[in-house]
Each structure stands twice: as C-alpha cells, then as structure tokens.
C-alpha cells in the first residue's frame, strides 16, 4: 500500500504525462483539421471547375443557356419555302429570339433547299456548305435522328444571336432554320404557299 | 470549516500542497469505502488514486452545496462503478494477493477505524451486498448524514432510509450467526 507522499508523487507524475499527451493530441488534431480543410477546399474548387468546364463544353460559352425549343405557342403556322439566297426562320425560333435575344445560344436545324427540295445531309453540296459555314465560325455538324421508326439526318448548329441575324447564306440555296426540338422531317414540311 | 474545500481551492490556484492535504485527509477512508464495491484492497487503492487524478486533471468545480468529503466520495463511487462496468469479466487474483490484501486491509482498518468493536462490524459487513456495505460505511463509519449519503449514492433520502434499515437487519443476522451479541451499531 502506498503512503500519502507516494500517492501524491504518483499523481503529480501522472498529471505531467497527461498534460504532455493532451498537448500532443491537440497539435495532432489541429494538423488533421488543417489538412482536411485544405482537401475540402481543393475538392470544392475541382468540382466547381469540372462543372464550369462541362457547361462550357455544352454551351460554348460558360454564361449563356441553350435554347432548343419554344413551347409557348399553340399554333402551327404554314411557311413559304425559302427561295435561293433566302433564309426563313420558323415562328417558334423567331419567338425564342425575341424572348431571349443575345442572352442565349440557339440549337437549330438548318435545312438547305435546292429549289423546293431539301438536300440530304450526306450530299456533296451539303458537305461543302458545312465546310463553308465552319470556316466562317459556325458550330455545325450532321445529326442523325429517328421519328416514328424513320431515320433522318440533318444539319445542326449551335449559334449566337449575331450569327443567326447575319447568317451567311449561299445565293444558290434556300435556308430553312428551326429550333432543334421542333424538328420537322423534310417530307413533312408544309406545302409551299401558292 | 471544510478543510477539504479550502485545500482544493488552494490546489486550483496552483498550490500543490493543497493536493497533499486532500490525499492525507481522505485517502484511507476512500480506500475502505471503495473496497466495499470492488472487494480488493489494491484495486480500491488504485481507484482512490484515480479519484484524486480525476480531481487534478478535470478540475471539476466544487459548488459548496454539500461537504467536500461527500462530493469527493461521490466522485469515488462513480470511478468505482465505471471500473466495475469495464471490468465486468471475472479476473482471477493470485492467492498470495488475497492473503496480502487481507493483511493490508486489516492494517488499514486498524489505522482508520481504530476501535476493535467497529472493526469486527466492518469485517462482518464484507459479506453484505455492495449497496448495504456502502450505506453502512458512509453513515456509521464516515459519519455522513442521510442527505449526504443519498447524494453520494445517487439515491433519494427515502431510499437511503430503507436501505439502511435492510442493511442493519442483514448485518444483525450475520453478526448473530457469528455470536456477536450487540444490539445496536
């Protein structure tokens, strides 16, 4: 059995070790916390950059939304076919442009007509047109899509308002432009107005 | 004057002599009290040291609503209960430790209790349950009031009164079996 003095000595020794261990633990905790905060900050920055990048790759511009449909219309107007060198936009596209203006990008289909026929996307003329528009800074490509088991392909583009308003038409062909999600297959185009 | 409270206050202010005074005042009594819980004098000694250790590291504030001694004994009881919870599996004790422990306890009893008759009663208390031992020790050997005993044992005063009655009855039976003829503790 310990005497009082022995117990007091033992207590004071234990207290010293306890204080030392607690100081070490606090330093370790502080180090771990600072590492965790740094990792969290790095992780957050990475996520933000990835999200920004993905938005940029979709929109081409990390600030503007993309408009591909305009639903606020309860009518299906008939359009005269564009003649050579003429550009005709659908009513929905015109409404979308009126609403969003330069505050959005527009995903569109471009039908290239030779007379009253829509040229197939895989034709030489359309390929040449795609190349010409690309060289002029338009983001264009060919897209294949299916409607009611029928397969189609068309020219799609992602354009800003300026590019729409100053669309560089070839004088030999007519251009019929509509919003991507209101796409109408060429053989379902309305008959030209007499 | 509550010497323990004064010593503790001085210890908190940085005077380690206060700790020595507290240990001197309460060590033996606390060991004998905790033996009632753990039935091993050496373990009781360690738990007593742990009680003081808790005091000097956690530095709990003593409000003065009760005596310092009853407050300290309550901490000691908590330490013992924690120990019993963690060491719930049976640990075998070497025979020589039991024999040595018995003689150490006898020496401690002689030093602390002093009176022969009371020592015999304390011996008889060994066979009682922990709660009975505890309440008898606190009230009759340490001189705590029912209120203070209730505080230490975390029971109501009514429970302490009932416990005391049953503990005395049980002790009386044991003492009578051993030929002890005292009617009152």
Rounded alpha-carbon distances, angstroms, from residue A144 to A72, A147, A152, A155: 27, 10, 6, 9
A135 touches A109 (CB < 8 A): no
**Which architecture, in CATH terms, is B1-91?**
Orthogonal Bundle (1.10)
Q: Place A56 in a pLDDT band, splitting at 50, 70 and 90.
A: low
For A131, counting Cβ atoms within 10 Å of its Cβ (0-12 exposed, 13-18 middle, 19+ buried), the class is exposed
Query: How much is the pLDDT for A182?
Result: 74
Q: Place B44 in a pLDDT band, splitting at 50, 70 and 90.
A: very high
Residues of A in contact with B103 (CB under 8 A): none
Does B69 score more than 60 pLDDT?
yes
> From the list B20, B41, B56, which residue is nearest A4 (CB)?
B20
Give the number of beta-carbon pairs within 8 Å between A and B: 37
Coil vs helix vs strand at B136: helix
Q: Which residues of A touch B (CB under 8 A)?
A: 1-2, 4-5, 7-8, 10-12, 14-15, 18
Top-confidence range, A36-45, A76-85, B90-99: A36-45
Q: Place A72 in a pLDDT band, splitting at 50, 70 and 90.
A: low
Tens of pLDDT, residue by residue over A148-189, are 677 778 899 999 999 999 988 899 999 999 898 875 554 555
Tens of pLDDT, residue by residue over A92-113, are 899 899 999 999 999 999 999 9
C-alpha–C-alpha distance, residues A75 and A78, integer Å: 10
**Per-domain boundaries in chain A:** 1-63, 66-188
Query: How much is the pLDDT for B103?
Result: 72
Query: How much is the pLDDT for A31?
Result: 92
For CATH 1.10.10.10, list the domain ranges present in chain B.
Answer: 113-185
Residues of B in contact with A7 (CB under 8 A): 23, 27, 48-49, 52
Four-point Cα dihedral A17, A20, A24, A29, nearest 10? 90
Q: What is the CATH number of domain B113-185?
A: 1.10.10.10
Residue B88 sits at the vertex; the CA angle it makes with B83 and B94, to the nearest 5 degrees, is 90
For CATH 1.10.1740.10, list the domain ranges present in chain B.
Answer: 1-91
Q: What is the pTM of this model?
A: 0.53
Does B105 score more than 80 pLDDT?
no
Residues of A in contact with B23 (CB under 8 A): 4, 7-8, 11
Rounded alpha-carbon distances, angstroms, from residue B97 to A145, A190, B40, B41: 90, 107, 9, 10
Query: How much is the pLDDT for A146?
Result: 74
C-alpha–C-alpha distance, residues A172 and B103, integer Å: 119
Q: What is the mean pLDDT of chain B?
A: 84
- For residue A73, the 8-state DSSP code is -
């Amino acid at each position: 059995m310990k005497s009082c003095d022995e117990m007091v000595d033992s207590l004071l020794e234990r207290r010293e070790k306890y204080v030392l261990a607690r100081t070490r633990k606090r330093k370790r905790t502080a180090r771990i916390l600072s590492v965790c905060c740094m990792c969290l900050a790095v992780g957050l920055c990475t996520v933000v950059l990835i999200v920004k990048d993905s938005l940029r790759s979709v929109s081409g511009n990390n600030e503007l939304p993309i408009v591909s449909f305009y639903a606020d219309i309860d009518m299906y107007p008939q359009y005269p076919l564009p003649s050579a060198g003429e550009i005709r936009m659908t009513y929905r596209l015109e409404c979308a442009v009126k609403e969003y203006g330069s505050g959005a990008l527009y995903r569109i289909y471009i039908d290239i007509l030779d007379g009253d026929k829509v040229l197939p996307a895989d034709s030489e003329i359309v390929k040449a047109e795609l190349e010409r528009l690309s060289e002029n800074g338009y983001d264009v490509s060919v897209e294949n899509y299916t409607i009611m088991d029928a397969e189609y392909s068309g020219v799609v583009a992602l354009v800003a308002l300026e590019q729409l308003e100053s669309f560089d038409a070839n004088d030999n062909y007519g251009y019929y432009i509509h919003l991507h999600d209101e796409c109408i297959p060429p053989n379902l185009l309305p008959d030209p107005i007499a | 004057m509550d010497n323990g409270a004064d010593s503790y206050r001085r210890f908190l202010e940085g005077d380690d002599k206060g700790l020595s005074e507290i240990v001197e005042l309460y060590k033996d009594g606390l060991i004998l009290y905790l033996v009632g819980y753990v039935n091993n004098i050496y373990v009781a000694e360690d738990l007593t040291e742990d009680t003081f250790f808790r005091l000097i590291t956690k530095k709990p504030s003593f409000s003065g609503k009760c005596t310092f001694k009853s407050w300290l004994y309550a901490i000691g009881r908590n330490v013992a209960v924690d120990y019993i919870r963690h060491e719930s599996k049976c640990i075998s004790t070497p025979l020589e430790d039991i024999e040595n422990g018995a003689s150490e306890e006898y020496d401690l009893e002689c030093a602390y209790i002093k009176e022969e008759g009371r020592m015999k009663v304390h011996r008889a208390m060994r066979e009682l349950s922990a709660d009975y031992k505890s309440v008898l020790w606190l009230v009759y050997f340490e001189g705590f009031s029912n209120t203070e005993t209730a505080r230490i044992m975390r029971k109501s005063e009514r429970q302490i009164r009932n416990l005391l009655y049953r503990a005395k009855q049980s002790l009386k039976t044991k003492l009578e079996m051993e030929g002890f003829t005292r009617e009152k503790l």
